[in-house]
Amino acid sequence: MKEYFKPRARFNRKEHPFDIGRAFSWWKGHYDRHFMNSLYERNESEFDAFYRYHLAYFLNVNESTEEPEFFKHVWDIVGDELAILIKEDKRHSRSEHERNNNQKIQIRAFIEYLKSIDQWNTGKTKDEIIAAKAAEIKILNEQLALLKQELKAARKLETEDYINITKGYRNTLLDLCLQMQEIKLPDGKELLLSQTQSVWLKMICKYFREGDQEINFETIRRYFPGDKRDPGFKHSPIPAKSKLFQISPLKNRS
């Protein structure tokens, strides 16, 4: 017979408040009764610790066992106990009826806890499981349709083509990109605004090649400091030999 709940050591104090059983002789066939007695003494805040304390014991002392078996057994015990309390409620006795009601409240609260950790649909009927799965599939299909729309929109801007830079003139392009960031409009506002330099790096690496070869992100990032006022020791200026062009405003415009 499998052991589901950690028993109290006989003739000794409880090693742990969650241990079940009496200090003296008790029939272990009534372990379900003792489990319920211990459950009635628990606060709702202890339910999870109480459950997991006995789960750990069950997995430790029984070979080749897993949580679903333990969960189902606990579920059945508390469900049977609730059915018994409902059937045998002695309403003519004020004290017994009050105790009965308190125990039903405790059991129902514990059942709600079990539902919150139920990964195996233990307490659901076949129809409830089918309905839940149908609702889940509906949500997933809606998400899939949305993702397909987003993917379709994104692909409109995708291209396998690229702009090829004549070999040896990569840094000349980088210099022009840096110059463009400094262009001011007649009213003094910047022509181009970006929150970070990484957008420039990504644009260059994605849409440009040098001599048909990909441009390495890490190689060119040293030319684009995050803080131009304090570029840091990793920053490198564009070599003078690569600065072939100067972007400047037209002096006379018709």
Q: How much is the pLDDT for 25?
A: 66
Whether 35 shows a pLDDT value over 80: the answer reads yes
Query: How confident is the model over 46-77, as pLDDT tens digits?
Result: 999 999 999 999 999 999 999 999 999 999 99
Find all residues with CB under 8 Å of 8, minimum gap 6, and list them.
14, 15, 19, 20, 21, 22, 23
- The tokens for 113 are 């806890």
Backbone angles phi, psi at 210, to 5 degrees: -115, 110
List the one residue out of 34, 41, 43 whose CA is nearest residue 10.
34
β-pair partners for 20: 7
Comparison of pLDDT for 36 and 130, the residue scoring more: 36
Whether 11 shows a pLDDT value over 70: the answer reads no
Q: In what order do the strands lie in the sheet with 213-214?
A: 163-165, 208-210, 213-214
Residue 141 near residue 186 (C-beta atoms within 8 A):
no
pLDDT band at 253 (very low <50, low <70, confident <90, very high): low
Residue 132 near residue 124 (C-beta atoms within 8 A):
yes
d(CA 170, CA 74): 70
d(CA 57, CA 6): 6
Residue 59 near residue 3 (C-beta atoms within 8 A):
no
